[in-house]
Amino acid sequence: MKYLGLRLLHSALLLWGVSLLAFLFVAAAPGDFADALRLNPQVSGTTIAATRARYGLDKSFPIRYARWIGNVARGDLGYSFAYDAPVASLIWTRARNTLFLTIIATLVAWLIAVPLGVWSASRHHGAANIVSTGVSSLIAVPDILLALGFLYLAVQTGWFPTGGMVSVAFDQFGYWAKLRDLIAHLTLPTMTLVIGMLPVLAQHARAAVAEALDAPFIRSARAHGIPQRRLLFSYALPFAANPLISLFGLSLAALLSGSLLVEVIMSWPGLGPLILGAVESRDIYVVVASVLASTIFLLAGNWVSDLLLYANDPRIRAE
């Protein structure tokens, strides 16, 4: 319980620090939301002043931040200037879409990386070495280039949708048609994230399993005639699980940050386009809430890693 309490306190302090920095950086940027109204000659100075007063833009930074913290304590994340809607409703929909894409990409990446790492660690020559080298070379390809390449493929071939999460007539489809449509829209963003993260995961899995195969108890088990497949998946892989589980939280962070860029390029309705539009329009409460949502996802990934380590390693439970 003490460990849990410390982690909760650390998470709360981290969220507070992130919110303060995000609020400070957006507030320090030149101009605000009301400045865009000055470009319209039909909007009077009185209207602009009333808009600034309505949204509290005429107050100093400490006052605005203190009011926002008080509202957050009551479950109110603020009001969006650009969308004219509560921030909480905007964030929930976009964060759900980002989380959905990230979870799918994480599962696919790990389901490919772990068997690939085990296979290449157990076979140091031939096809395994060639495949491992080819996968490792993908680390030099930037995520933005992958996204643009897949988008070009979709435009030229018409095999996949070029953007969005579902088709316009999605509500009129049957169940299986809806599922196919969602998978079609999900394929290219997921492939971009998976290919971008796969080299790192596969190399770590290979290194962890190779180190486990050199352990004395593995050599002893091999000498007792235990089959290679059982040796790999029943002995070596559980022994190598701890570093891979620790990597899980980092991989989720990398995929989440990469997904924001992919969402903007491929028009996936997640946090990425929302943050970009909010920054351009100086929609400060949307920016801060979006950054906080991303931070919460990262903390959740680290919490899942800690729970998996606790379940896998009896030494941690003993401590």
Q: Name the token pair of 52.
A: 């600034």
Tell me how far apart the alpha carbons of residues 134 and 315 are, in angstroms, rounded to a whole number: 37
Span 237-273, pLDDT tens digits: 777 777 777 777 777 777 777 777 788 887 778 888 8
Integer angstrom CA distances of residue 47 from 4, 71, 281: 51, 26, 18
Query: Is residue 86 a contact partner of residue 77, using CB atoms and an 8 Å limit?
Result: yes
pLDDT of 274-316, one tens digit each?
Answer: 888 777 777 778 888 888 888 887 787 777 777 776 766 666 6
Which tokens hold the place of 288?
A: 């801060």
Are 29 and 282 spatial neighbours (Cβ–Cβ below 8 Å)? yes
Is 86 strand, coil or helix? strand
Alpha-carbon gap, residue 180 to 189, rounded angstroms = 15
What would the CATH number be for the domain defined by 88-318?
1.10.3720.10
For the chain, give every residue range classified as CATH 1.10.3720.10.
Answer: 88-318
Distance CA 23, CA 171 (A): 38
Those residues whose C-beta lies under 8 Å from the C-beta of residue 69, and which sit 6 or more positions away, are 19
* Single pTM value for the model: 0.76
Sequence-ordered list of residues with C-beta below 8 angstroms from that of 215, at least 6 positions apart, any chain: 239
The band of 43, judged by pLDDT with boundaries at 50, 70 and 90, is low
Give the bridge partners for 85, in sequence order.
80
As a whole number, the mean pLDDT across the chain is 75
Burial of 283 (0-12, 13-18, 19+ CB in 10 A): buried
What per-residue confidence (pLDDT) applies to 119? 76
